[in-house]
Amino acid sequence: MQDAQTLPAIEMRGISKAFPGVRALHDVDLTVETGEIHAVVGKNGAGKSTLMNILTGIYEADHGEIFIRGNRVEHMSTALARDYGIRLVAQHAKYIPGLSIAENLFAGNLPRNRAGFVDWRTLNRLAQERLERVSLPIDVRRKMEGLSVAERQMIEIARAMFADASVIVLDEPTAPLPKHDVEMLFDFVKRQRESGASFIYISHYLEEVFAIADRVTVLRNGERVGIYPVSLLTQQDLIRLISNADVERFSRAPRISSTGAPVLEIRGLNRPGVLEDIDITVEAGEVVGLTGLEGSGAGSLVKGLFGLEHLGEGEVTIDGKPYAARQPAGALKRGIAYLPRDRHGLGIIASRSVRDNAALSVLQTLTNRAGFLEGRKERALVASFVQRLSIKTPSMNQLIEFLSGGNQQKVVVAKLVATRPRVLLMDEPTQGVDVEAKVEILRIIDDLSREGVAIIVVSDELSELRDISDRILVMYRGRIVREFQKSDPAWTQEDVLRAIEGESFDDAA
């Protein structure tokens, strides 16, 4: 009889799943060895999430078999998945705000003394011992909301391992992370692999697949293309396998000259501890990239401009007229639209249709004199955006939660474009979308700029910023420390990285 340690941790054979009008998976195999980091990649809608939902018992497969360390599992459920040591760690770590790390780790099972009260000393000691066992030296008395996103992800992985998880699914774990935290998370995952844990790694960031995975399974249109050792592939090979074609990068043509028509002007903007002496001018049709470390102020600036945070003190004008950001409704009235980094939390209403989401920001323009929504006008508007932005959906009445990430993002863009903005603020617009959808979204940004919209794009993806921006502004500790012009070919990505890390330049102003 084969030793359990030499059996695959997971075997999924001939998995098929269909939803009304959609074949999500057809005859898919997945094998994950013990102590392996196994990547699963594919375009949005390729079937990755459906396959993981079947593995974790959220969906039941129409056909196929699942084996856990050689044991065939009949009718996988979420309870059975937990019993077999399978855990899903989503990209947004779940925790109870207001409580400490220790309280979150032992939630529902807090140690108590003889009087029935929580034994805080024992709680903190046990929690600290557990984190030390997985080489995670964090003070367990700290509040969860005070941790970095990477630290919360590691706590979530540690909690799964404390529950005897042997197979952990990491679903886009680095999507919310600043770049400098990704390496810390990867080091932690690799240490847990050495102790025998297996990981299934799902990501659209292909460079990360090469940094962390041992093997990769490629899905396309609900079918398995193949399984490959990562060491035998190049990134272009992987793109070709995912897309069944070579995907050309999109690069925006340099602007020939300034239009001389500033749309957004910011002068002497200050917010203590967040923003310091910010001066920015964005012209009609210009795309300005904004980047920096987490907490550099880039995200806070665009949120402040849209009225989601206090902007600070200074002078802000739109088309030469003073502007004060107090709330999003006022920002929309003044022609400012905002695409948030957190698409699921702030960008879409998952339980509503594509039609409802796309028309949400302009409902007041689609009503008649009696105040009732004119369905014909709404349908015409949404249909025009579905066609213009190439949104792939069975119908505009499809629930948006069933669309791929890239198509969800395009619906959010449609919602913003419908407001006919003068200024468009975009925070990580290509986060969590596949390589083809990234190119499509960059083309949409370029098209909007050609219609005269002034655009600010906040992103950590420097190659994409260089492709789409006319110039890149680097922020460090709340200040703009460097500007790079697209028209100047002399600078390199390494120069931008040095500025992001706060290194000085001899020729800096």
- What does the block give as tokens for 429? 């617009």
Host H or E run for residue 128: helix 120-133
- What does the block give as tokens for 464? 């994409």
User: Which residue has better confidence, 341 or 247?
Assistant: 341
From 382, 412, 384, 375, select the one nearest 396 (Cα to Cα). 382
Strand pairing of 10-19 and 63-68? antiparallel
From 197, 213, 108, select the one nearest 160 (Cα to Cα). 197
Integer Cα distance of 350 and 170 in angstroms: 22
Residue-by-residue DSSP string for 335-363: TEEEE-S-IIIII--TTSBHHHHHHGGGG
Given a cut of 50, whether residue 259 has pLDDT beyond it is yes
User: Which residue has better confidence, 225 or 382?
Assistant: 225
In this structure, of 19-33, 316-330, 406-420, 438-452, the range with the lowest mean pLDDT score is 406-420
pLDDT single digits (tens) 387-412: 877 788 888 888 888 777 778 888 88
Integer Cα distance of 422 and 168 in angstroms: 45
pLDDT single digits (tens) 310-345: 998 999 999 999 998 788 888 988 999 998 887 766
Name the band, by pLDDT with cuts 50, 70 and 90, for residue 475.
Answer: very high
pLDDT average, residue stretch 405-427:
86
Strand pairing of 22-32 and 262-271? unpaired
Integer Cα distance of 213 and 200 in angstroms: 9
Say which CATH topology domain 4-98+143-243 has.
Rossmann fold (3.40.50)
pLDDT at 91: 64
Integer Cα distance of 444 and 449 in angstroms: 9
pLDDT at 246: 64
CA distances from 96 to 86, 169, 171 (A): 22, 21, 20
From 295, 339, 344, 318, select the one nearest 454 (Cα to Cα). 318
Integer Cα distance of 374 and 71 in angstroms: 57
* Residue ranges of the chain that CATH labels 3.40.50.300: 4-98+143-243, 262-349+418-500
Name the band, by pLDDT with cuts 50, 70 and 90, for residue 67.
Answer: very high
> C-alpha angle with apex 318: 316 to 324, nearest 5 degrees?
45
**175, amino acid identity:** A
pLDDT at 175: 65
pLDDT at 507: 45
Using the 8-state DSSP alphabet, how is residue 250 labeled? Answer: P
Using the 8-state DSSP alphabet, how is residue 32 labeled? Answer: E
Given a cut of 90, whether residue 356 has pLDDT beyond it is no
Name the band, by pLDDT with cuts 50, 70 and 90, for residue 383.
Answer: confident
Asked if 56 contacts 88 with a C-beta cutoff of 8 angstroms, the reply is: yes
β-bridge partners, 423: 336, 454
Given a cut of 90, whether residue 210 has pLDDT beyond it is yes
pLDDT at 462: 84
Given a cut of 80, whether residue 260 has pLDDT beyond it is no
pLDDT average, residue stretch 149-173:
80
pLDDT at 261: 76
> C-alpha angle with apex 162: 192 to 55, nearest 5 degrees?
75
From 447, 451, 449, 472, select the one nearest 461 (Cα to Cα). 472
Given a cut of 50, whether residue 68 has pLDDT beyond it is yes
Given a cut of 50, whether residue 64 has pLDDT beyond it is yes
**471, amino acid identity:** R
Asked if 185 contacts 173 with a C-beta cutoff of 8 angstroms, the reply is: yes
In this structure, of 110-114, 176-180, 430-434, the range with the lowest mean pLDDT score is 176-180
CA distances from 336 to 94, 186, 285, 329, 505 (A): 32, 38, 14, 10, 34
Q: What's the half-sphere exposure (Cβ side, CA atoms, 13 Å) at 403?
A: 33
β-bridge partners, 223: 220
Name the band, by pLDDT with cuts 50, 70 and 90, for residue 92.
Answer: low
Across 53-57, 394-398, 413-417, the highest mean pLDDT is recorded for 53-57
Q: What is the 3-state secondary structure (H, E, C) of 470-508?
A: CEEEEEECCEEEEEEECCCCCCCHHHHHHHHCCCCCCCC
pLDDT at 369: 78
Asked if 14 contacts 27 with a C-beta cutoff of 8 angstroms, the reply is: yes
| Predicted model pTM | 0.68
pLDDT single digits (tens) 175-206: 656 666 777 778 888 888 888 889 999 988 88
From 175, 182, 98, select the one nearest 143 (Cα to Cα). 98
E-only strand ranges, 82-191? 86-89, 167-171
Class of domain 262-349+418-500: alpha beta
SS3 158: helix
Name the band, by pLDDT with cuts 50, 70 and 90, for residue 1.
Answer: very low
What count of other Cβ atoms lies within 10 Å of the Cβ of residue 69?
18
- What does the block give as tokens for 462? 């420097």
Name the band, by pLDDT with cuts 50, 70 and 90, for residue 504.
Answer: low
pLDDT at 417: 82
pLDDT at 229: 95
Q: Which phi and psi (to 5°) does residue 228 adopt?
A: -140, 140
- What does the block give as tokens for 328? 């999003």
Asked if 455 contacts 305 with a C-beta cutoff of 8 angstroms, the reply is: no
